[in-house]
Amino acid sequence: MKQHEAYPLIPIQRGDGVWLYDTEGKRYLDAVSSWWVNLFGHNNPRIKDAIKLQLDTLEHVMLAGFTHEPVVVLSEKLAWLTGLGHAFYASDGSSATEIALKMSFHYWRNSSKSRKTKFISLQNSYHGETLGALGVTDVAIFKDTYAPLLMQSAQMPSSDWRLAETGEDAEAFALRCADKLEKYVSEHHAELAAFIVEPLIQCAAGMGMYHPAYLRRAREICTKYDVHLIADEIAVGFGRTGTMFACEQAEITPDFICLSKGITGGYLPLSVVLTKDEIYQAFYDDSTARGFLHSHSYTGNPLACSAALATLAIFETEHILEKNAQKAAYLNNKMQALTNYAVQHLRQKGMVFAFEVETKNLQFSKQFYQAALQQGVLLRPIANTIYFMPPYTISEDEIDFMLAATEKALQEVA
């Protein structure tokens, strides 16, 4: 909070479409979707109306011994979309990671393979900030302080193409990293419960993008050596990478998929872990101790589920993925003008766009954030990585405004 003495908090009064308005009437284009959650703009009438309608019927009921229509319908829709038939709900992404890790561990315990207690993830990965999630996260600023509290995990070489050797294409590099993954798994599979991975984009690593060949090989390796594959699609699901879920681009089905952020269009907290029949059956028993003993007070909240159903309905009826492809092509083309500046690794995957700024300024991210706000755009660089992850409702005129403001901020700071 001390930093806000130099960088005052901005009081936001309302939102409309891609815009946020402060109490003095100044507007900011929400180019990061309020931390990657908003899909269809602020003040979206279809999502609002769904929440209002549900509010007149049922605001909440516990899912212990009870159920309700929105959670049943949502579970069926998500099962159809993911190919995974069983859903466990929570309220945020970190909780979803915790659930997947615990469920994997407990599955092996119930299956009499109690030695399978270890987890692996990618270097530079981020999976949340609760203790279990931090145990498989590899971002020092979040993790180091709490190291004495965390379970130990191993990190596999990242397939982020920025790390490839000169002249090495993305697919060749991905496969080379997958070979290193197989070497480790082949030696340690007897104790490995699961491999958790962010499909296609390592977001907190500065939007590190990689080829889907890595996911295909990871699926093959995990199947071969009897290790669960957990797909953390919390940030990249619901169309962000160009397909409904990133795993589709590798044509794989994970053992677990973690979803949150965009699931309600950014309107209410909700997360879910989906898994397959085989894992569900390991908990299907008369003994309570063999059940998955994990609970959240607001699990499967009807208001949040209604927002999620409205979000999925927008995808279904408004051809969002096709429209996004057109917008992505337009934004990607316009973004090429930024090569006039000292930028590197200009890249795009679906509706995620990023580049690095060559700078020795250790205060770059804070200074650029402020400069962009002065130009009317909300951007939050990750170190020297500038990225765009706007709501899908952004128009071409708004894209032009966003890029022009970015260019002005670059001129001021870089």
Backbone angles phi, psi at 337, to 5 degrees: -60, -20
| CA atoms in the 13 A half-sphere facing the CB of 115 | 5
Count of beta carbons in the 10 Å neighbourhood of residue 316: 10
Cα(217)–Cα(209) distance, rounded to whole angstroms? Answer: 16
Amino acid of residue 96 = A
Residues 370-412: tens digit of each pLDDT: 999 999 999 999 999 999 999 999 999 999 999 999 999 999 9
- Which CATH architecture best describes the domain 49-317? 3-Layer(aba) Sandwich (3.40)
CA 222 to the chain's CA centroid: 22
Residue bearing tokens 């315990």: 109
Output DSSP code: residue 288: G
Cβ neighbours of residue 80 closer than 8 Å, sequence gap 6 or more: none
Average pLDDT, the chain: 96
Determine whether domain 2-30+319-413 maps to CATH 1.20.1730.10: no
In tens, the pLDDT along 10-66 reads 999 999 999 999 999 999 999 999 999 999 999 999 999 999 999 999 999 999 999
Helix (H) or strand (E) holding 364: helix 364-374
Contact (Cβ atoms closer than 8 angstroms) between residue 247 and residue 257 = yes
Asked if residue 414 has pLDDT above 80, the reply is no
Q: Where are the domains of the chain?
A: 2-30+319-413, 49-317
- Establish how many alpha carbons lie within 13 A of residue 365's alpha carbon, considering only the half-sphere containing its beta carbon: 11
Answer yes or no: are the C-beta atoms of 220 and 181 closer than 8 Å. no
pLDDT value of residue 143:
94
23-36 pLDDT, tens digit per residue, is 999 999 999 999 99
Determine the pLDDT at residue 112: 85
Read off φ and ψ for residue 378, nearest 5 degrees.
Answer: -90, 110
Of the pLDDT bands very low, low, confident and very high (cuts 50, 70, 90), residue 116 is very high
Provide the token pair at 81.
């979309």
Name the amino acid, one letter, at 172: A
